[in-house]
Structure formats: C-alpha cells, structure tokens
Amino acid sequence: MLQLIEQLQLAGYQVTFGSPADWSPHAVELARIDVEAVRIQLNDSRFDDYLQQLQPALVMFDRFMMEEQFGWRVEAVCPQALRILDMEDVHSLRHARQQALKAATELQLQHIHSELALREIAAVLRCDLTLVISEFEMQWLQQQFQIPAAQLCYSPFMLAAAALPASGKTFEQRQHFVCIGNFRHEPNWDAVRWLREAIWPQIRQQLPQAELHIYGAYPPKKATQLHNEKLGFLVKGWADDALQVVADARVMLAPLRFGAGLKGKLIDAALTATPVVTTPIGAEGMYDESTAAAALVAQQPDELAAAAVTLYQQAGPWQQASAAAAQLIERRFNVQQHGDYLRQRLQQLQDNLEQHRLSGFYGAMLRHHSMKSTRYMAQWIEAKNRLAELQQSQLASSGSGAVQGPADQ
C-alpha cells in the first residue's frame, strides 16, 4: 500500500487514507509522508457527506470487501472518480485451495466457483481497473473468469534495487532457519503446523544442532504451545526488525500449502540475499528463469527437508541461491519499471474514461443490479444502528426502566 501511495503522489495526487479499521500501535505514521488519515464508518451515510466535500478524482479500494461496502456510495456521489480495486491477492483462489487441501483433493470447479468468487469477481467487473499483484493471477482471472485484459493491471511489489545484500552476512556468518509470517493469515499458521508435524523432525534428525526461529505477529496460544527448546522449534512471535532476523538466518523455510498473491516473506529473503525453501504455491509469481535459483521448490515433506538440509550444509548451493536472491528485486520488482507502467495506465483511464466504461457492459450490469441490494442492506443496517443509539440515549436519560425494541412496538 505504501508503494502504491508513493506512485499516486508521483502522479500528482494528494492522498487521503480512509479506513474503518481499529488503530494499531504498529501503524505507519502517514502524516510523515504527507498523507491525511481519516476514520470512516461502515454502513453510515455520513461517508457520503464526506465524499461530497472531498470530491476525489480517484478512489482505490483495498480488497474487494471495501468495494462492496463503499463502491456504490462513490459511484453515486462522485461518478467521475476513477474506481480502482487493489486485490492484494485473489482471495477466492486462496480460499479454493484451502478447501481443496481440507478435502484432500485436487483443485476443482466446485472449489473455484464459490460464493466468495462471485463476490470478488463482481467487484473486479464493477471497477474501472483492478491491480493484480501476480502474473499467475493475471492469467488466472482472464482464463478462469474471462475478465477483459483492459480491466486488469499487473502491479506487483515495487522496490528499489536492494543495497543490503552487498553487505549482508556470508554463509559462515549465518546460522539456523527462519520462518516468518502473520499468524492471523491462515496459510502461515498452516505452514507452521506442517513444519512442526512433518518437516522439521526430518531436518532436525540430520542437523541436531540447528534451530528453527519462528516469527510473526499475533501468535495464538496454540502456536506458542508448539515452542520446544529441546527440538530447536522456537516460536518467538513479533519481530521488531523482520529484515534483521531474516538476514541472521542461513535459510528461510516457507512451506505454504495454500495461498495466493506474492509472498512478502520471500521479498524479505531477497532483500537480505537469504536462500529459500518453499512450495510451488509459495514460489508462484515470484521467480523467472534468471532468478529461479533463489529458492529450492518442492511439494512433499521429505523433499522440502532434503532441500533445507542441502542449503544449510553446502556452501556452493547456498551461495548460488543467495546470489540469485540478490538479483530478484532489480529483475522482477523494479520500482521504476512497474511504477511508470501503473501511472501510464491511470493516465490512459483518465483520458478515455467514458469510452472505457462503455466497453464494460458486464460491470455496468452488475452495478445496476447487485449494488442496489448492497445499498439497501447498508441503509437497513444504518437505520438499525441509529435506532439502537436512540434507544440507548432514551434509556440513559430516563435513568431506569426498559426501552421497547422494534419487535415490541
């Protein structure tokens, strides 16, 4: 999101960041980068008044759920504003893979064509442009759901060439394995459990002195209970400096069995020239032929363990992987290349918005039909909330007694 904000600012936009989320002590101080942060409410028509005053030229929705909540309001109040959806990843693809894993089957249409997919693809079609973070998902959306290419924009991580690898630690200076990822993200928690049950015991058997350091925000009790110093399986929780803990490790383990999008942990590995052992889903969208050596990719626990032991013990393969990782940012996620492309697409949309929207018939149809139900549901929730507030106010002013609810009146 910070990378996208930077590109919008370079394109000449003054950026306001509105969110209904609770405040976090780890939140970025947006004022430092000249971004105004405002708190907005769900299902509240006061947002319409705010939009009327702001009159934005472009509105970006962070994930499809925000487009569902606010998209119809933006169209009604600011019809000429560009509506951009930032997918982050294809949520319905991640969900489909998770369902297939639970059922112990291959990915099938019954998993893909879920209610979540219906909602997510509808949001894509309603927007003027959708930012897609992975090349694989660019193809997936066009082939699986026939999304027109004109409505999609490949917009991966956008980073400057890393300076850290040149002064990073060598093979001999590093020790132990690292696994990192927010525990509230289900693919990460599944990976930790899989490591504990099926992969780490095989690694530890061959490397009895090695340790696995597991970092991530919001570790639940069930995760901290896996901490076992005798087995070298150390659940450490929040990392104050993610890049530092990755740079100290000799190998990163990322055995993701489901998921979508690009993996920030693998970007951290690239920024620190740290070799990776991961699955095909983990590697998806990350590497090309010139950078494939940055990660050893395997599917089964014994294959993943063998790859981990090889990288940990052998300096030659490790150095080859580290060198490839150091090239990943420049070759795959160069800010100049992808930033220029994104700004060009936005300018093209601004210059041809009317014609672009006329060509998107299915999006217009969805806005006409589905947004009416979303609008009425939001208005019903708002009315219900206002009534509850009124009842609480009456109760407080009376000092005692019960207030009749809707069913009693």
The string of pLDDT tens digits covering residues 123-147 is 999 999 999 999 999 999 999 999 9
Within-domain flag for 399: no
> 250 and 124 share a domain?
no
- Say if residue 26 is in the same domain as residue 49: yes
How high is the pLDDT of residue 22? 86
Residue 13, domain member (yes or no) = yes
pLDDT tier at 243, thresholds 50, 70, 90 = very high
CATH number of the structural domain spanning residue 367: 3.40.50
Question: Angle at the Cα of 85 (from 84 to 86), degrees rounded to 5?
Answer: 120
In the chain, the percentage of residues whose pLDDT exceeds 90 is: 80
The residues near 147 (Cβ < 8 Å, ≥ 6 apart) are 121, 124, 125, 130, 141
The answer on 312 and 372 residing in a single domain is no
DSSP state of 299: S
Q: Does residue 16 lie within any of the structural domains? A: yes
Same domain, 188 and 118: no
Q: For residues 88 and 189, state if they share a domain.
A: no
Instruction: Among 302, 318, 333, identify where a domain stops.
Output: 333
Tokens at 132, concatenated = 């897609």
Q: What are phi and psi of 41, to 5 degrees?
A: -110, 145
CA distance linking residue 64 with residue 130, whole number of Å: 10
- Short-list 19, 16, 23, CA closest to 66: 19
Q: Are residues 356 and 315 in the same domain?
A: no
User: In the listed set 306, 333, 360, which residue is the last one of a domain according to the structure?
Assistant: 333
Q: Are residues 199 and 347 in the same domain?
A: no
Would you say residue 18 lies in a domain?
A: yes
Residue 161 to residue 125: CA distance in whole angstroms: 34
Residue 403 binned pLDDT confidence (cut-offs 50, 70, 90): very low
In this structure, the answer to whether residues 116 and 218 fall within a common structural domain is no
Packing angle of the helix pair 64-77, 361-398 (nearest 10 deg): 90
Q: What is the pLDDT, as a whole number, of residue 339?
A: 97
Task: Tell whether 190 and 324 lie within a shared domain.
Answer: yes
Check whether 399 has a pLDDT greater than 70: no
For residue 313, the domain's CATH number is 3.40.50.2000
User: Would 182 be classed as within a structural domain?
Assistant: yes
- Check whether 234 has a pLDDT greater than 70: yes
pLDDT above 70: percentage of residues in the chain:
93
Q: Is the pLDDT of residue 398 over 90?
A: no
Residue 46 buriedness (CB in 10 A; 0-12 / 13-18 / 19+): exposed
The pLDDT value given to residue 406: 41
Same domain, 321 and 357: no
The tally of domains found in the chain comes to: 2
- Each residue of 171-203: pLDDT tens digit? 999 999 999 999 999 999 999 999 999 999 999
Quick check: is 401 in a domain?
Answer: no
Instruction: Please give the model's pTM, rounded to 2 decimal places.
Output: 0.87
Query: How far is residue 158's CA from residue 106's CA, in Å, rounded to a whole number?
Result: 33
Residue 137's domain spans which residues?
Answer: 2-158+336-380
Q: Which helix (H) or strand (E) holds 12?
A: none
**Nearest alpha carbon to residue 197 among 298, 301, 308, 282:** 301
Higher pLDDT, 364 or 113: 113
- 388 part of a folded domain: no
Residues 15 and 73 in one domain: yes
Q: Residue 380 — pLDDT band, cuts 50, 70, 90?
A: confident
Note the pLDDT of residue 297.
98
Whether residue 149 sits in one domain with residue 190: no
Q: Please give the mean pLDDT across all residues of the chain.
A: 91
In whole angstroms, what is the distance from residue 76 CA to residue 65 CA? 18
Q: Which band of pLDDT confidence, cut at 50, 70 and 90, is reported for residue 408?
A: very low
- The burial of 343, by beta-carbon neighbours within 10 Å (0-12 exposed, 13-18 middle, 19 or more buried), is given as middle
Label residues 53-71 b or e (16+ Cβ within 10 Å = b). Answer: ebebebbbbbebebbbbbb
Q: How confident is the model at residue 167 (pLDDT cuts 50, 70, 90)?
A: low
- Determine, yes or no, domain membership for 408: no
Rounded Cα distance, 41 and 21, in Å: 9
Q: What is the per-residue pLDDT for 384?
A: 83
Domain boundary among 299, 318, 333: 333
